[in-house]
Amino acid sequence: MNDVLTTTDLTVRYGGNLALDGVSLRIGAGELVGLIGPNGAGKTTFIDALTGFTRSTGRVVLDGTDLTRAKPHQRARRGLGRTWQGAELYDDLTVRDNLDVGAHRPTWSQSFRELLTGRSAPSPAATAAVTLLGLDDVLDTFPEDLSQGQRKTVDVARALAAGSQVLCLDEPAAGLDSDESLELGNRLRSLVDGGTSLLLVDHDMGLVLGVCDRVYVLDLGRLIAEGTPDEIRRSPAVIEAYLGEEVPA
């Protein structure tokens, strides 16, 4: 499988705290990769460094382009997207308008047409995200009328609508019950089957070990393991640092 994203020795220091210590990771095209670890292990810091929201050393390459020095908006435009822990939707906007906010970079001619008609055409990426994530029926619904699982799915779609090739998801299953989490996992699988590459950070081990192709494990800023979900379930280092006991398949 071709790598679409690689990091080499990604390192972040917050004062004297080495929050991320030389993390080298790769994501293949159309691959769902998990990143897990105890609280404070550096998972969000890794996403922040990867997407340019915190200062780091090391190297980030997306689809052959070195983004190490790129600003966050430049990385996003190149196709490196993210969601935020605990992000909220815009409550006064329909799902369609929430997606538009994430997506919209119209051309001049589109802008002119929108001014005349008062309507915006959805981007191809937004249309694809809606279909793959099964949101067609709720496009005109307001967030308060959605289930918690649907709201999380819209948040993922909003990030995808910007045209992400690789999307980093920071705890998308937080606050979901096990059925909703399972449903979200199925949606994420549809996305990768459609060609998007995903990095999934979550504490829901059932979700991460159930849907990911490969999983990396962070502890105290360092990678301590990488492997298939089965290998991670059985890894003594991971059991000691994080899982406590083997997670049943």
The residue whose two tokens read 């047409």 is 113
Q: Tell me the closest approach of the beta carbon of residue 247 to ligand ATP, in angstroms.
A: 17
Task: Give residue 124's region: left, alpha or beta (phi > 0; psi -120 to 50).
Answer: alpha
User: Cβ 85 to ligand ATP, closest distance in Å?
Assistant: 7
Q: How many CB atoms lie under 10 A from the CB of residue 2?
A: 10
- Minimum CB separation of residue 156 from ligand ATP in Å reads 18
| Min dist. Cβ of residue 119 to ligand ATP (A) | 40
Give the pair of three-digit tokens for residue 231: 């290998």
The type of residue at 59 is R
95/209 with CB nearer ligand ATP: 209
Strands 65-66 and 57-62: antiparallel
The mark string for 72-101 relative to ligand ATP (x by CB under 6 A, - otherwise) is: ------------------------------
The helix (H) or strand (E) run that includes residue 235 is: none
7-26 binders of ligand ATP (CB under 6 A): 14, 17, 19
Cβ neighbours for 193, distance < 8 A, ≥ 6 positions apart: 30
Instruction: Write the interaction track for ligand ATP spanning residues 28-67; mark x where CB under 6 A is met and - where it is not.
Output: ---------x-xxxxxxx----------------------
Residues of the shown chain interacting with ligand ATP in the complex, contacts defined by CB under 6 A: 14, 17, 19, 37, 39-45
